[in-house]
Structure 1
Amino acid sequence: MRRISIEILKPGMKLSLPIRDENHNLLLNRNVALTERYIQRLKNLGFQSIYIADPDLLDITHEDMISNRTRSMATKHLNYTYREIENIIRNFKNESIEKITTNLRSKSVKKAFNNTDIHHITVKVVDNIIDDVVSCAVLTGLNPLKTHDNYTFNHSIEVAIVSIMIGKKLKLNARQLRELATGCLLHDVGKVFIPAHILNKPDKLSFYEFELVKEHPVLGYEMLRDYIPIMPTQIAYQHHERQDGSGYPRGLIGYNSIKRSSLKNQIAFYGEIVAIADVYDALISDRPYRTGLMHDRVLDIIKNCSHSHFNAEIVDKFLSIVPRYPVGSTCEITSGKYTGYHGVVVYLDENNLNIPKIRLLYDTNENRIKPINIDLQKECDTHVELVES
């Protein structure tokens, strides 16, 4: 199994993971041979990369961190939630921010939200996600395929998974994990007020467009605060706040510590966790305006933003559970005997997450070779970096 750009897909290649739509319904199953029609359809749907089977990597599989049943339930719940919200706000979603806020506080809108079952269903979904994730020791580092149609739902689920893993490392109890995961699933709900053409814009946002996007934490908070407990609503409100006060919407600050301070204007603890998970998943994901960044590059960005943007102590916990080189990633040897060769990460030792085993498949001239397995724990002079396939 390896992930390759959709631009180099060829008829006859076989899928190693199934393709699903925004409702998690199956479009193409694993082991399906691609045709020109399938490839064009995948491009039209917005996929930028695909996991394909490779005859020299048949022993490499990807196990999702949550079951297919749980992911399907979570996706359908989020779809239902967003549809219910869209129905409630449809008459004022295009108004000014001030008018939207006024409408969200009106008795009629509050009554409409109270008549929904959003919180009850969210709790049920959250419990299933937590049950699946608590048995995992480390993050896989492999990201589900996203398109503009399913990005919000899949992103929310992945942010929940990553945050729960961080929460486990921080020894949060069951109640805290449930609050954390609930907030994660709904952290971007304020984006229902942002036009789709802005959220999916393939170019850089204008100043006006970015200012509009920056309103989603406030709108999400205003929408949720009367219907779910306060701690999860803080996640919707604060996941874009930064340690140095440069975030939004309130410019809150952090103290780079897991221990809480009694000082005012401090970012909520859950908000600091989700800030990391949100950026991590966003950067490794394909978007309309770019392909996902290389995983090692993303971890470097998060580490470099420790102290200034992200709580440094939480970043340390995060980096201890996420592999620098996920299984299935394409890499290039940058030093040692096989410098210039390309291969795929095939194994990770949970006790040495950043020192993988590699299977070399191409020489320095990009000619296919008989596979060569190397163990970086034994090849001390060999270093790798991830590259696009």
Structure 2
Amino acid sequence: MRLVPIEFVKPGDSLAKTIFDNDGRVLLREGVTLTENFLLRIKGLQIYSVYINDKYSDIIIEDVIKPELRQTAIKAIKDTFYSLEKYSLYSNDANFNKKKFAKEKQSYFESIGNIAKDIIDEIISKKNVMINLVAIKSMDNYTYQHSVNVAIISLVLGVQLQLNQADLYTLCMGALIHDIGKVLIPKEIILKPGPLTEEEFKIMKEHTTKGYDYLKDSLDISAPSRIVTLQHHEKVNGCGYPDNIKDKSINRFARIVAIADVYDALTSDRPYKKAMCPNNAIEYIFAHSDTQFDYKMVKAFSKAVVPFPPGTLVKLNTGDICVVTKVFPTYALRPEVKIIKSGGYYNSQEVGITISLVEKLDLVIENIEFTI
């Protein structure tokens, strides 16, 4: 399977990963043959990329957690965020029942806590778990899907950093609710189909303090988990927000979530910006280590993510088009590839042969290909 922008998907292609609608119901199951009508329905949900199988990419890539658990987690985050939205709209109403809301709030966070435990159990049950799949997101559900994905990426990094199970739980809870303050930001800013103005960005930055203020009296969530909502946009050089703190003054869980947050955002399609390829996102994060991100954590992250999953079509510096057949965890940027189309250059390889880029240091992947 391989991830393909929707504009490159053709009627007759085979869907490799089930697509869910905004309520978590199955829209199209994996294995279905895509038609013009199906493609229109996918585009209607503002989904800009899908996984397909073809003659070059029939390798199955498993998600880090089961699809059912992912959908349950998305729904729990969505329900929790909606609850806060309702509170922000009606809390000053004379008929608003604060005791009832407090009970609802507690039940939502208990649900998220149980889901966090389930996600952790799945991740730590797998040996050498790595981030090898980009989650498909619709624009309407982006914030909730992003929250779950950031939690998963954070946990994989946490395992790489050898955190104990209690710390993994704290990390997961903080990651799942890190963007809860966005509910209190005007929707026209959150959903704006383009870059924010300076004034809009100033308002957007308030989601960290608004989210923390909402959570600070929630005893169901530990203080280190709550602090993630406040500090996940701080930078190790002190140029982040809201408090311009730096280095170890930033909570270590917030430093982990900061990496996961940016990686997932960079590799996600937006109405005004195409997703960045995973390898370019990794390079961006490396380029900003010791300024934006914790350098030691970035090094660990680079060992936990697969930029070219098996099935990916890539172009070498020779012009040859290849399909990735195997990934080496220690050398994630230099996988094993099979040549499927000659570049026509003097030093091009033979079509059909398999090459390990770990051994052929003169060969470099230039970019990901979507068509041949």
Give the alignment partner of residue 172 of structure 1, picking from 163, 175, 190: 163
- In 2, the alpha carbon distance for the partners of 1:252 and 1:351 equals 33
Residue 47 of structure 1: aligned partner: 47
**Counterpart of 2:347?**
none
Supply the AA of the counterpart residue of 1:308.
Answer: T
Paired letter, 2:214: M
What is the aligned partner in structure 1 of residue 241 from structure 2? 248
Measure the CA separation in 2 of the matches of 1:340 and 1:290.
Answer: 27
RMSD: 2.1
Aligned partner of 1:90: which letter? L
Residue in structure 1 matched with residue 179 of structure 2 by the alignment: 188
In structure 2, the CA distance between the partners of 1:267 and 1:45, relative to structure 1 (3 Å rule), is same
CA distance in 2, matches of 1:115, 1:383: 54
State how far apart, in whole Å, the 2-side matches of 1:311 and 1:181 are.
19
TM score, norm. by length of structure 2:
0.90
SS across alignment from 2:229 = helix
SS for the counterpart of 1:180 is: helix
Equivalent residue in structure 2 for 1:112, among 82, 101, 111: 101
> Is 2:131–2:153's contact at 8 Å kept on the other side of the alignment?
no
- Amino acid across the alignment from 2:239: S
Deviations 1:299-320 (A, max 9, x none): 1111111111111111111112
Residue ranges of structure 2 left out of the alignment (5+ in a row): 345-349
Match of 1:347 among 323, 326, 334: 326
Equivalences for 1:302-341 in 2 at 5 Å?
302-334=285-317, 339-341=318-320
- Cα 1:279–1:136 shift into 2, 3 Å: farther
Instruction: Give the percent of matched residue pairs that are identical in Structure 1 and Structure 2.
Output: 35
Q: After superposition, what is the alpha-carbon deviation per residue over 1:241-289, rounded to whole angstroms, capped at 9, x for unaligned? A: 001111011111115xxxxxxxxxx111111111111111111111121
Residue 351 of structure 1 deviates from its aligned partner by 3.9
| Stretches of 4+ aligned residues off by more than 6 angstroms | none
2:324 counterpart SS class: strand
Matched position secondary structure for 2:12: coil
Aligned length in residues: 358
Q: Which region of structure 1 is more displaced relative to structure 2, 353-362 or 150-159?
A: 353-362
* 1:48-69 deviation per Cα after TM superposition (whole angstroms, max 9, x unaligned): 11111112322x1110100123
Q: Residue 25 of structure 2 aligns with which residue? A: 25
State whether structure 2 residue 333 is matched by structure 1 residue 376.
Answer: no
Structure 1 residue runs of 5 or longer lacking an equivalent are: 93-102, 256-265
In structure 2, give the amino acid aligned to 1:130: I
Summarize deviations over 1:26-69 as a string: whole Å, max 9, x none. 100111111111112211211111111112322x1110100123
Cα pair distance change 1:69/1:42, threshold 3 Å: closer
5 Å matches for 1:28-177? Answer: 28-58=28-58, 60-91=59-90, 112-116=101-105, 117-134=107-124, 135-177=126-168
How far off is 1:201 after superposition? Answer: 2.1
SS in 1 for 2:34: coil
- Tell me, yes or no, if the aligned pair for 1:141 and 1:295 is still in contact at 8 Å: no
Match of 1:272 in 2: 255
Task: List per-residue Cα deviations over 1:329-365 (Å, max 9, x = no partner).
Answer: 331101xxxx112223221123433321113333438
**Which residue matches 1:217?**
208
Residue identity in the other structure for 2:193:
P
Equivalent residues in 2 for 1:234-245 (5 A)? Answer: 234-245=227-238
Whole-Å separation in 2 of the counterparts to 1:372 and 1:22? 43
**Structure 2: how far apart are the matches of 1:254 and 1:20?**
40
